[in-house]
Amino acid sequence: MGKRIMDLSRRDLMAGAGAAAFAALADAPAQAFAPQAGKQNAGFYRYKLGAFEITAVTDGSATFPLADGFVKNVSKDEVNKALEAANLAKDQMTIVFTPIVVNTGTKLVVVDTGYGPAMLEKSGGKNGQFHSNLAAAGIDRGAVDAVIISHFHGDHINGLVTADGKPSFANAEILVPAPEWKFWMDDGNMTRAPDAAKPAFQNARRVFDALGNKVTQYEPGKDVVPGIQAVATHGHTPGHVSLTIGSGSDTMFVTCDLTNRPELFLANPGWHLMYDMDAAMAEATRRKMFDMVVADKMRVQGFHYPFPANGRIEKTDKGYRFAPTPWQASL
């Protein structure tokens, strides 16, 4: 009996000591074993499309208050409901930017260029990351053979120039949609544009003046480079294009700005984004193109989709949904 009491006392003593030690730890200030990094990893992701190697390279993101007119034909309350249904914060919008690099085996091709390095400092490092992430991915801008531009909004063309206004891709052919060039470089269009649109005209001229206006105009419906074809998807801008990329039996549709955030504009294809210059045309175009993508079971690469913005489009009762391709640890 005495031995049992002794054993019990020992157990009680050990338990008491453990509890006291735990309490002491709980009261002590928390200390990390290592300092926090305080920044994100370099943002790039590679995958194969047939014999082609695709690298999605983030330019970062921008977060801003949700404006009443962000979707022109529905109320802010409806937009907030859609954001909450997608487990996104309401009353704000975060838009991501994802250019890609296509290595065909014979050519290195960039598709769109993000906001550019001049924005890196202005945004506190939140966007304008494309050039630094290209370097982190081991891609030399001097080795790029061609840059394909989908349209002339700043988040797609500003990366064509460096922070000090020099050409970013010194050895590359710069390929732009002919209808887009015609619209934005027309003095009459700039004069007639509302005041809110004039900065976009001025920015396009600033960027292409820095390149000496040395561009090659291409027509939709034709190969821009072997294996990459331009598809007319006008509406977002007058000359906006998307792309199809094909290698062997594998084909992918590159949306560019056919839609913005998929949680809003795929789920509700009838919603009109404030940035769409011809909203009715943009809606008709995306319905047509996404019906095609679904029917043909094409892979999709987005620009404003959650990084790395690659997956499939599925039809729903009221619209579409984006199904991301599972992450692959190797090519």
pLDDT of res. 40:
86
The model's pTM: 0.89
Q: Show the tokens assigned to 8.
A: 């019990």
Tell me which residue of 165, 49, 63 sits closest to 111, measured CA to CA: 49
Chain-centroid distance, C-alpha 25? 44
Tell me which residue of 137, 183, 141 sits closest to 161, measured CA to CA: 141
Radius of gyration of the chain (CA): 25
Set out the domains of the chain in order of their start, with CATH numbers: 41-324 (3.60.15.10)
pLDDT of res. 20:
54
DSSP 270: T
- Cα-based torsion angle of the residue sequence 236, 300, 243, 96 in order, rounded to the nearest 10 degrees: 50
Mean pLDDT of successive 10-residue stretches along the chain, which has 331 residues: 50 54 57 82 95 98 97 98 97 98 98 96 94 97 98 98 96 98 98 96 97 96 97 98 97 98 97 97 98 97 98 97 95 90
- If one counts every other C-beta atom within 10 angstroms of the C-beta of residue 295, the result is 9
pLDDT of res. 26:
57
pLDDT of res. 33:
81
Query: What H or E segment, with its residue span, contains residue 288?
Result: helix 279-296
Largest CA distance in the chain: 104
